Structure 1
């Protein structure tokens, strides 16, 4: 037995993995719901939130912006929305290395009135955010990367987000587009967003639109390549967050590799997370997949290698790589350069 407290000893599996498990809440949905609930009118209760560093960083930053929130229990958060008017006129936000948080909060701060600094650790200062900054600048928001190197720290001096038309590259992170979409209802006029080039990670944009709709905002879109958002207000609500489909992929993969059987409750064909369709990949490799109204079951079978485009569910590409080692023949994963 290894006595090092910083290491974990993993014993080889001697039998099929069989069981039912509910993963933690989706990180992607949690951070979107936190932004939307913070900007909404009234109180929201978010159930099934993920307890993680990203969630903690987001909540700490929202508090610095003047948003009131509290925990009802470990996975339930109540948020008093600001009605689209950020209370704080000045804030220094420390985002550690949370890429989702800095992208969403950069867009949110552009709707405020004042000066906001967004920064993070050494790794964060190596992560480009220039394309989102350029989009805000094209809308006449005074935003810049203060070191002049395309990366944080970011400084925003704003009197609000004007309406108008903005172009954004579709081939980079979909989080830039998601950030703009979520704050667009609080622009000072109608906002039109045009995607240039092929849009990556489409399921994450569909997730953003779904969260916005659940809080009462409608977005006009043409084939997810252009969007028009009229000034609107989110309405606080009681919102249940799905289990994390990316985390679920690990347990489905375990069933596939060991020819076991794993059921995940809380996920179904109607789930808003694209990664739920990782089970379709396993089915193509030979597994048996059963979809129920509120659960998915994977029964492992003999695995065959495949050639597959993983663009839409790229976060599960590494899970597939682990499964592919146990398949007969080679597996080729394509179109995941953006991960």
Structure 2
């Protein structure tokens, strides 16, 4: 396929799509709640379909009506399940601890590059916590029942391992602790998890690199509105910072999404983001170079390189 790109200026307003990261977390919390929850809006994607299909395989009832998803929480746990995560690493890493906490004997499978995604932090730790994983990559078989206790994980491989345990450990009969052995990368994603958990009635506390998770907690059903996605909005905000007349709507100035830092990053490059209610426009283009730390915002680095390349 050949695509011809002609010089032009962008003009208009775009509503940012809903956050996939938040939608993932809300669907999982809804599936763990006792009763009916509604999560909206949710856009169709392979990752979302993987999570929905996996939760259904674990016993949740899920009905989709346009962008609204109704979830009836898991009430009858299957004795055995095959969970196809397709190519979604987040689905795989989020749900392994939940299946273990529920005591579901299951087989996790996937496709594409998913078998290349490392699972060593779970493989190493779960063998001491009552769960057997027959290998540290998919396809894998899981058996046993997750035990409460102290979990020690690296923080610099993926924050998804911490998120998976934060979902699962509140379901156990006693309190648990997660201790990080290395610096937590992509920390805002863990903050996002804790925020969504709180909205579904789950309490987690954190002190530096240690997380405290009380046991015997119950997820509460709720109506959950998914906020718009800063990761997607970043492309259009950068276009505005390059001199185009573009406004992005549907965003929350109080968002805990790590990629909200696109606004700070563009400001460092000389742009001037302006909030008006839930919309953002840029009234001054990038003008100078800057140095910034991208460890917590890896998804923003490609588009920030574009912005930096346009600095006069």
Q: TM-score range by the shorter chain?
A: over 0.9
Q: Find the residue that maps to 1:111 and give its secondary structure.
A: helix
Deviation at 1:94, TM superposition (A): 1.6
The farther-off stretch of 306-315 and 133-142 is 133-142
Q: Which runs of 5+ in 1 are unaligned?
A: 329-339
Cα displacement (A) at 1:299: 3.1
Match of 2:301 among 303, 317, 320: 317
Quote the residue 1:126 is aligned against.
Answer: 116
Q: CA-to-partner distance for each residue in 1:280-329, whole Å, 9 max, x for gaps? A: 1111111111134423222341432221101222211111112222113x
SS at match of 1:312: coil
- After TM superposition, the score normalised by the length of structure 1 is 0.87
SS of the aligned residue for 2:127 comes to: helix
Select which of 31, 48, 70 maps to 1:78: 70
Contact 1:261 1:300 survives alignment (8 Å): no
Q: CA 1:326–1:125 in 2, change beyond 3 Å: closer, same or farther? A: same
Q: 1:152 aligns with which of 123, 134, 138?
A: 138
Q: Deviation at 1:220?
A: 1.9
Q: Distance in 2 between matches of 1:240 and 1:224?
A: 30
Superposition deviation, residue 77 in structure 1: 0.2
The answer as to whether partners of 1:268 and 1:296 remain within 8 angstroms in 2 is no
Aligned to 2:290: 306
Among residues 53, 57, 61, which one is paired with 2:50 in the alignment?
57
**CA–CA distance in structure 1, aligned partners of residues 46 and 134 of structure 2:** 26
1:170 to 155, 158, 161: 155
Tell me the equivalent position of 1:252. Answer: 237
Out of 179, 184, 194, the position equivalent to 1:194 is 179
Q: CA deviation at 1:261?
A: 3.3
Instruction: Choose which of 78, 85, 89 in structure 2 pairs with 1:95.
Output: 85
* 5+ residue gaps, structure 2: none
CA distance in 2: counterparts of 1:26 and 1:133, whole angstroms: 30
Conserved? CA contact 1:260–1:299, under 8 Å: no
Compared CA separation, residues 11 and 180, structure 1 to 2 (3 A): same
Question: Contact 1:290–1:298 (CA<8 Å) still a contact in 2?
Answer: yes
Superposed CA offset, 1:250-274 (max 9, x none): 10111122x0233222223311211
- Aligned pair count reads 312
CA change 1:103–1:285 in 2 (3 A) is: same
Q: Secondary structure at the match of 1:180?
A: helix
| TM norm structure 2 | 0.94
- The Cα shift of 1:88 comes to 1.4
Q: Is the 8 A contact 2:159 2:189 kept in 1?
A: yes
Alpha-carbon contact 2:240-2:247 (below 8 Å) kept: no
Q: CA deviation at 1:66?
A: 1.7
